[in-house]
Amino acid sequence: MERLMITGQVPLRGEVEVHGAKNSSLPLLAAAVLCRGQTVLHNCPDLSDVSAACEILSYLGCRVEREGRTVIIDTEGLCRHSVPDSLMREMRSSIVFLGAIAARMGQAELSFPGGCELGPRPIDLHLSALRKLGLQIEEQHGGLLCRSEGRMRGTQLTLSFPSVGATENILLAAATARGRTVLNNAAREPEITDLADFLNDCGAKISGAGEGVIVIDGVETLTGCEHRVIPDRIVAATFLSCAACTGGDVRVRKVEPAHLAGVLPIFEEMGCRLECGADSVRLRAPERLRAVRDVRTMPYPGFPTDAQAPVMAAAALAEGTSVFVENIFESRYKHAAELRRMGAQIKLEGRVALVEGVPKLYGAEVFCTDLRGGAALVAAGLAAEGTTVLRDIHHIDRGYERIEEALRPLGARIVREQD
């Protein structure tokens, strides 16, 4: 096992590039299954979740080559329609392969994705929509046996909640269905737009992505194309929070500032000065951060749930009490107990977290509880007096490319070593 050793109280200064979005790469890799021939994805981050998705593609019979941040997928050899339990368990978001495999192969077999650190991760919205598109789905001892008689059929769909994953599965299943699908209350995240752009470049007919209503006119076949993955807005928010926590001055580069519209006002409210360029955001932190009145996680374009933990690390050091309301996931405050071990004053009441800022955090031995909770502990460790030993960092490696190598050029004293 590996751990990160972090010695804090160094204000981060300089520039850092942000890699491609994990939450765009994964549905794009699934979308490649739909396409004949070769798909080339650029700016695909080197993350364990991306490796897991590539393993699934190889298992299905695709040829997958990775050259740095470029992934080349050829589906000529596609010969399987099932995803083994071991691979499904490795990454719960593998459920996004369901729509693509079923649409391309006419059948699909996957196990139920396990729950995760954020609480149960139901897929009822995915299954009910796919059934309405004509996919027969049998749920047997934790597995999903799916089959469609010929192509799926377009239809009117309305999501009771703008689920990101369900929207992606619907786009993937409806892209080659017979006829028109109208999806109401679709998720509007930038990753949805990125997926629709890719599918349209492969020959799909999708309009309205990024809005609440998406119209998909099914086509017979899709042909692979070249595509560049959008920047990871959550990694950008995380690096900005590290700058805010340490009283630093950091420019994050190769980002899409518009994708951060839900997050930047919170940093401003905390007293940070922000400067947006065409593909960069600079954050200059104040001597002492101010508390933020309330942070309510919402579907895009609201404040993203994935940024809640990293921003809580900054709030833990602010002057005053900040109120967080986590509206998206049931239990997404596991990092609070670890932050308390570093001296943070955080009170949890259901979906509400009251964070009473303290003047200083202290290095401690802490454990990553999940991907973004782990990132929050990195930010806190960079600000804390003394040394923080951070364990279970495999959680962080799911969504951040060698986070210590990204932060060290900014002055961070952070090293990865064997535990």
- In the bound state, the residue with its beta carbon closest to ligand EPZ is 165
What pairs with residue 223 in β-bridges?
36
CA distance 384 to 364: 9
Work out how close the CB of 288 gets to ligand EPZ at its nearest, in angstroms, rounded to a whole number. Answer: 29
* Residue that has been written with the tokens 């349209």 in this structure: 200
Pairing outcome for strands 143-147 and 107-111: antiparallel
Work out how close the CB of 160 gets to ligand EPZ at its nearest, in angstroms, rounded to a whole number. Answer: 8
What pairs with residue 15 in β-bridges?
251
Annotated catalytic, 225? no
CB closer to ligand EPZ out of 41 and 371: 371
Q: Which of 327, 402, 350 is nearest to 47 (CA)?
A: 402
- What is each CA distance from 245 to 42, 67, 69, 360, in whole angstroms? 32, 35, 30, 10
CB closer to ligand EPZ out of 305 and 369: 305
Work out how close the CB of 188 gets to ligand EPZ at its nearest, in angstroms, rounded to a whole number. Answer: 10
Work out how close the CB of 195 gets to ligand EPZ at its nearest, in angstroms, rounded to a whole number. Answer: 10
CA distance 272 to 186: 33
Work out how close the CB of 164 gets to ligand EPZ at its nearest, in angstroms, rounded to a whole number. Answer: 4
Amino acid at 285: A
CB closer to ligand EPZ out of 116 and 182: 116
CA distance 383 to 245: 6
Q: Which of 379, 374, 377 is nearest to 394 (CA)?
A: 374
Q: Which of 17, 18, 36, 20 is nearest to 228 (CA)?
A: 20
CB closer to ligand EPZ out of 170 and 318: 170
User: Peptide bond before 409: cis, by omega within 30 degrees of 0?
Assistant: no
Where would I find the H helices in 133-229?
164-174, 190-201
Helix crossing, 371-383 with 308-315: angle to 10°? 20
What pairs with residue 3 in β-bridges?
417
Q: Which of 4, 96, 17 is nearest to 50 (CA)?
A: 96
* Residue that has been written with the tokens 């999940």 in this structure: 370
Work out how close the CB of 240 gets to ligand EPZ at its nearest, in angstroms, rounded to a whole number. Answer: 16
CB closer to ligand EPZ out of 188 and 251: 188
Phi/psi for 128 (5° steps) reads -65, -35
Pairing outcome for strands 156-158 and 143-147: unpaired
CB closer to ligand EPZ out of 251 and 395: 395
Work out how close the CB of 328 gets to ligand EPZ at its nearest, in angstroms, rounded to a whole number. Answer: 5
Q: What does the binding site for ligand EPZ look like in residue numbers (CB under 6 A)?
A: 22-23, 26, 93, 121-126, 161, 163-166, 305-306, 328-329, 371-372, 399
CB closer to ligand EPZ out of 57 and 289: 57
* Order of all β-strands in the sheet with 365-367: 365-367, 387-391, 2-7, 413-418
CB closer to ligand EPZ out of 26 and 285: 26
Q: Which of 79, 116, 202, 242 is catalytic?
A: 116
What pairs with residue 107 in β-bridges?
147
CA distance 352 to 95: 29
Work out how close the CB of 370 gets to ligand EPZ at its nearest, in angstroms, rounded to a whole number. Answer: 7
Q: What are the residue numbers of the active site? A: 116
